[in-house]
């Protein structure tokens, strides 16, 4: 099993390219099930989750091709996918595929909308707490589908098609919003989604669906109106830059010191996180083609945060921010409101010398001037990269084990960081 070895203490300087957003690319790929024509997606990151989803979609009958890298393109340039579901050959998404990636459950909406039925295994994914599929099922039932859970599968049927309706989520769910919005695009009549997720990835999906012929208004707000159409067509769409990758590398610069331009990043996608970083003492400015992050060696100020649905501070940056606060000049409080088991990185950060006490859903971080390298174990995707960030600033050598988590969400991480002066390498087993 691969490991990542880091010798900490180097500032980060230079230009670091930001990839397309994984959390946008996955639902966009799934949207290919809604049409028999070709959906072309540009700026798709080269990640394990993307490759896994391509395998899942091909099981349903999606033909796909990947454009090769063109002469003169950087190795970090996103790939272009062409996906065509001329015929859905199988409406079952089996356990052995869905269990490897939670987002693959989202195929349930397009499958039932296009074919009138779907049989999808209950999902797996990172072990960061319960993320129930109840909202997905309730949303599809509101659109007239009959659903039942049997032998670990959600079986959904709507032989006469889906019917538009009001769908009010009791709690904000990005995945359920994606799923119901895709299903409603082909439903008869109008659907109104209330308490919808407002994340940029939801709007990116809506923009793509509109390009395919869907009638959607309000994406990016908490109320989305969808007027169903009979069919959707092909489209060409570019995936938005990854705001979580942007925030992660911005925190790495804030922690190590240095001056880095995050090429291709968009500040408007993560304003709350950037505002928090400015409070810690980092200088962040919009520059031509990206975002500049700079810290000149001044201390890191402690800041309290609470994770919230967008536009609040993202739960997917909580672990990285905790690593940053472990070297602040005081006490900070980090409250996690989205996932109940998302403090599993605390014990691993403690191995590097971090002083963190957990009280329920709040972690109290007593900043220390120095961390020291150690052997650490990754527990999930975002926890993995928090250990990398801490290792970059720790004295001595850090080895991060079980880095397959990183490959699910960060494209060429060690190459990007080494370009900016980090001493980091992948060690293959």
Strand, helix or coil for residue 407:
helix
User: Can you spell out the DSSP letters for 115-163?
Assistant: HSEEEEEPP---SSS---SHHHHHHHHHTT-EEEEETTEEEEE-TT--B
Three-state DSSP class for residue 50: helix
How many angstroms separate the most distant Cα atoms in the chain?
A: 65
224 marked as binding residue: no
Residues 203 and 26: beta-carbon distance below 8 Å = no
Determine the distance from the C-alpha atom of residue 157 to the mean position of all C-alpha atoms in its chain, rounded to a whole number.
29
Which of these is catalytic: 30, 126, 253, 277?
126
Q: How much is the pTM?
A: 0.95
Q: What is the pLDDT along the chain (429 residues), one digit of tens a residue?
A: 789 999 999 999 999 999 999 999 999 999 999 999 999 999 999 999 999 999 999 999 999 999 976 655 566 678 999 999 999 999 999 999 888 888 899 999 999 999 999 999 988 544 434 446 889 999 999 999 999 989 989 999 999 999 999 999 999 999 999 999 999 999 999 999 999 999 999 999 999 999 999 999 999 999 999 999 999 999 999 999 999 999 999 999 999 999 999 999 999 999 999 999 999 999 999 999 999 999 987 899 999 999 999 999 999 999 999 999 999 999 999 999 987 767 889 999 999 999 999 999 999 999 999 999 999 998 887 788 999 999 999 999 999 998 888 888 899 999 999 999 999 999 987
For residue 284, what are the contacts with CB-CB under 8 A and spacing of at least 6? 250, 267, 274, 277, 278, 291, 292, 293, 294
Domains in the chain and their CATH numbers? 3-18+241-427 (3.65.10.10), 22-238 (3.65.10.10)
Q: Binding residue per annotation — 338?
A: yes
Q: Is 420 annotated as catalytic? A: no
172 has binding-site annotation: yes
Distances (CA, A) of 89 to 31, 32, 33, 111, 423: 16, 14, 11, 11, 48
Main-chain phi, psi angles of 377, to 5 degrees? -125, 125
171 is in an annotated binding site: yes
């Amino acid at each position: 099993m691969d490991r990542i070895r880091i010798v900490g203490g180097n500032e980060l300087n230079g230009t670091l390219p930001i990839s397309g957003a994984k959390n946008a690319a996955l639902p966009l790929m799934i949207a290919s099930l809604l049409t028999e024509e070709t959906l072309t997606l540009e700026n798709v990151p080269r990640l394990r989750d993307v490759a896994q989803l391509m395998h899942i979609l091909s099981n349903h009958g999606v033909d796909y091709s990947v454009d090769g890298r063109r002469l003169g393109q950087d190795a970090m340039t996103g790939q272009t996918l062409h996906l065509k579901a001329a015929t859905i050959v199988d409406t079952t998404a089996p356990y052995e595929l869905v269990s490897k990636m939670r987002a693959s459950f989202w195929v349930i909406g397009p499958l039932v909308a296009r074919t009138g039925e779907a049989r999808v295994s209950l999902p797996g994914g990172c072990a960061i707490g319960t993320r129930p599929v109840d909202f997905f099922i309730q949303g599809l039932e509101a659109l007239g589908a009959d659903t039942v859970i049997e032998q670990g599968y959600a079986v959904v049927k709507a032989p006469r098609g889906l019917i538009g309706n009001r769908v009010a989520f009791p709690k904000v769910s990005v995945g359920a919003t994606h799923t119901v919005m895709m299903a409603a695009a082909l439903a008869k009549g109008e659907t109104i989604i209330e308490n919808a997720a407002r994340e940029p990835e939801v709007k990116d999906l809506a923009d793509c669906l509109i390009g395919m012929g869907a009638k959607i208004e309000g994406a990016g707000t908490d109320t989305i109106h969808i007027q169903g159409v009979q069919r959707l067509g092909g489209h060409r769409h570019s995936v938005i830059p990854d705001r979580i990758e942007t925030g992660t590398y911005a925190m790495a610069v804030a922690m190590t010191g240095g001056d880095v331009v995050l090429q291709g990043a968009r500040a408007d996608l993560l304003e709350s996180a950037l505002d928090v970083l400015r409070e810690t003492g980092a200088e962040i400015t919009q520059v031509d083609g990206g975002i500049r992050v700079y810290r000149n060696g001044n201390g890191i100020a402690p800041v309290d945060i609470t994770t919230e649905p967008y536009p609040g501070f993202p739960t997917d940056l909580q672990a990285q921010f905790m690593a940053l606060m472990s070297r602040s000049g005081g006490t900070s409080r980090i409250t996690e409101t989205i996932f109940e088991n998302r403090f599993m990185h605390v014990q691993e950060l403690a191995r590097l010398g971090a002083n963190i006490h957990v009280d329920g859903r709040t972690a109290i971080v007593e900043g220390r001037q120095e961390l020291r390298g150690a052997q650490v174990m990754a527990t999930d995707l975002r926890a993995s990269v928090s250990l990398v960030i801490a290792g970059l600033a720790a004295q001595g050598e850090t080895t991060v084990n079980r880095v397959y988590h990183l490959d699910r969400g960060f494209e060429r991480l060690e190459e990007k960081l080494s370009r900016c002066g980090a001493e980091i390498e992948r060690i293959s087993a």
